[in-house]
Amino acid sequence: MQTIGERLEEARKRRGISLREAAEATKIRGDFLANIEQNKFDFDLPEIYKRGFLKNYARYLKLDVEKLLTDYNTQQLSNSRLGKKAGSEWFGQMEIKKPERAEAPEAESALEPVLRRMSPRHNTSAPDAGVEEPRRQDDENDKTFYLKVGLIVVGTLLLVFVIFGLIRAILGSGSDEADPATEAPSAALRDRPSASETLTGSSSSAAPASSNFLTLQASGDVRVLVRQKKDDAELYRNNMRAGQSISLEKDGAVDILFTAGEHLTIEHGGERMRPSASGTARITID
């Protein structure tokens, strides 16, 4: 006749399930399941947990739970009787005079109330309650773990966005400082003379064919912004190097902002003009 552990092991192998898979499905530690399959029920846990593990494991393997628990009760009773008999022989062999048949009915009658209490009909709820508590604790641990992971992910994303925003702010501020067109007009710029005062050269009228063209020449590094006053359109914005020359077509008056007037020459209407002021300034060409 197969033992309880042999029946469980045979049912598990017949279904092709490993101990690890059974442990994950039943939420019972693998070493406990291994001990149960080897009929080793002496692991250090209360009896209610052992019965709960046995019931859940049998239900998972689709075995007869009631029959398995009845066999387990019988096995535990037999082990108890054997232990009691061995203790009697160890401590008082000379005093035991009664035959073994006479002791059996007395032992059975004394253990009958215990068997009734251990019957599966009276213990259907206790094992589940005993197993439910560690299972609930595992679920709470899983929820705490996932919550921590979520907080870490959200914090990482926020940190990335903050770093990205700082980089953009730094790059934006650097470009604004380098661009003279975005600087607030200082008192010095507002006090600069008009175009007729800052340009040197003759004031003869330009040829009609070239009145809409403007040529800028650089003798050194200078940053230039040319903006049309009519529609506030930017015609040119860039750094000019020494020897560089550009021609622009304009429609009406334009404002020219520059950072180094001593390096800039302007040709308009057949005339070459150079700003009389050095450094950063603004002039207007009609």
CATH of the domain at 27: 1.10.260.40
Q: Which of 110-124, 146-160, 182-196 has the lowest mean pLDDT?
A: 182-196
Please identify, among 112, 143, 178, the residue that sits at the C-terminal boundary of a domain.
178
d(CA 162, CA 169): 10
- Looking at the fold, whether 107 and 58 belong to one and the same domain comes out as yes
Residue 188's identity, in one-letter code, is A
Element (H, E) at 85: helix 65-92
Total number of domains in the chain: 3
- Looking at the fold, whether 193 and 277 belong to one and the same domain comes out as yes
Element (H, E) at 7: helix 4-14
Both tokens assigned to 81:
């009787």
Structure confidence by residue, pLDDT tens digits, 189-237: 344 433 333 343 333 334 444 578 889 999 999 898 999 998 999 999 9
Classify residue 184 by its DSSP letter.
P
- Looking at the fold, whether 171 and 194 belong to one and the same domain comes out as no
- Looking at the fold, whether 105 and 147 belong to one and the same domain comes out as no
Spacing of C-alpha 31 from chain mean position? 34
- Looking at the fold, whether 117 and 229 belong to one and the same domain comes out as no
Structure confidence by residue, pLDDT tens digits, 55-104: 999 999 999 999 988 988 888 888 777 766 555 444 444 444 444 444 44
d(CA 101, CA 90): 20
Domain of residue 100, residue span: 4-124
- Looking at the fold, whether 204 and 227 belong to one and the same domain comes out as yes
